[in-house]
Amino acid sequence: MKSFGSASARMRGGASASLLLVIAGTRPEAIKLAPLIRALAPLRRADVLVVNSGQHGEAVRRTLAEFGLRADLDLPDLPAMPNLGAAVNYLRAELAAVVARWAPDVVIVQGDTLSAYAGALAANDVGHRVAHVEAGLRTESASDPFPEEWFRRRIARVADIHFAPTPAAVSNLLDEGVAPGAVHCTGNTGIDSLKWVLDEIGGVGLGGADVDRSSVLVTLHRRENHDRNADVVCRALLRLAAQRTNLRWTLPVHPNPRVAAPIRARLTNHPAFDLVAPMPYRDFIAHAARAALIISDSGGIQEEAAHLGTPLLVPRANTERPEGLATGFVQLVRTDEDALVEAANAALDAPRRAPLPIDEHAPFGAGNAAAFIARILQSSFTTRRTA
């Protein structure tokens, strides 16, 4: 990554390089932006400024460090806010000040988070172009899941460049009236990170011999599984633990108290459950690759599960990643105690399938999305500068 000092030179008027400003605010954003930051670093006549929005500041710092990266600018931690709208307005103003100060050629946001939405609005507020990584994901409902579906649809309205991970995502954007020339089918940068980590850990667990049939990995964090639904999932896990006494359940507990409180209240004292802090990405992937089953409402694991060869149950009403369902490794299960128990037992009893290779036929790309996006961005700002 080129230095923060290069951007300072630009502010003094002594540099002609284009400036790309990358905003990350959550762990998933950092995971999916890390390969792009690496791919942007060697671009000629381009500086890269990475901004940690402060939404989940420490998680972003730790995750970028796993990839040998760090933010150039760390904003203060997002303070407690009375509601989501207040949080959007606060972060929008903070990021607008950053964008106005550095005057980037392109502001890059990723996914469907508060930081992505606020960053896209902030760039638009002060008249700068927005590039949206992982654009075009949609469910059949404009408001479910909330706020992710709401955020990503509204980012599309202000983005100038849309990096769609799959052909279906491209179609979604075109159906909404986005100009075809602004949409690029690139694959998902999350697969770039997964490929890098699997190469680092030597594909542990992927051949089948290292699979730990007594291990189940569970994560919950999404808003639709707060409060009552978190309790429903816990009840299902307790029933499964009673039925399958050989299993050990690992739960990295999200810091949000609305999901953490029911999990801790129900499972803390049960000997079959290990409640742990959120894992580093490398450790999480190694654990997921060895597990007999994953139960998670995460979006990223829906992209990864097929390449780990691990069956995944998703306790949600819908998904913006139908490609994962098509692999047969991912199954949507309504957040209902009986439904979860039935689906988990079926998955645990089924024969283990070989993982899908990360190649040109992979549903979310061949692990080269970041390089593709970097080339498009370079062409974009070169064309703009010479026009």
Annotated catalytic residue, options 129, 254, 307, 321: 254
In angstroms, how far is the first alpha carbon of the chain from the final one?
27
Annotated catalytic residue, options 72, 94, 134, 149: 134
φ, ψ (nearest 5 deg) of residue 137: -70, 135
Q: Over the range 13-30, which residues count as b (16 or more CB within 10 Å of their CB) and which as e? A: eeeebbbbbbbbbbbbbb
For residue 188, count other CB atoms closer than 10 A to its CB. 29
Q: Considering just the CA atoms, what is the radius of gyration of the chain in Å?
A: 21
Residue with tokens 């409060």: 227
Catalytic-residue membership of 132:
no
For residue 195, count other CB atoms closer than 10 A to its CB. 18
Catalytic-residue membership of 254:
yes
Annotated catalytic residue, options 47, 112, 149, 323: 112
Residue 52: which H helix or E strand, with range? strand 46-52
Annotated catalytic residue, options 10, 56, 152, 221: 221
Annotated catalytic residue, options 61, 70, 153, 223: 223
Residue 189: which H helix or E strand, with range? helix 189-201
φ, ψ (nearest 5 deg) of residue 72: -80, -30
Catalytic-residue membership of 134:
yes
141: left (phi over 0), alpha (psi -120 to 50) or beta: beta
Catalytic-residue membership of 66:
no
Annotated catalytic residue, options 29, 72, 148, 231: 148
C-alpha–C-alpha distance, residues 262 and 286, integer Å: 27
Which residues participate in catalysis according to the annotation? 112, 134, 148, 221, 223, 254
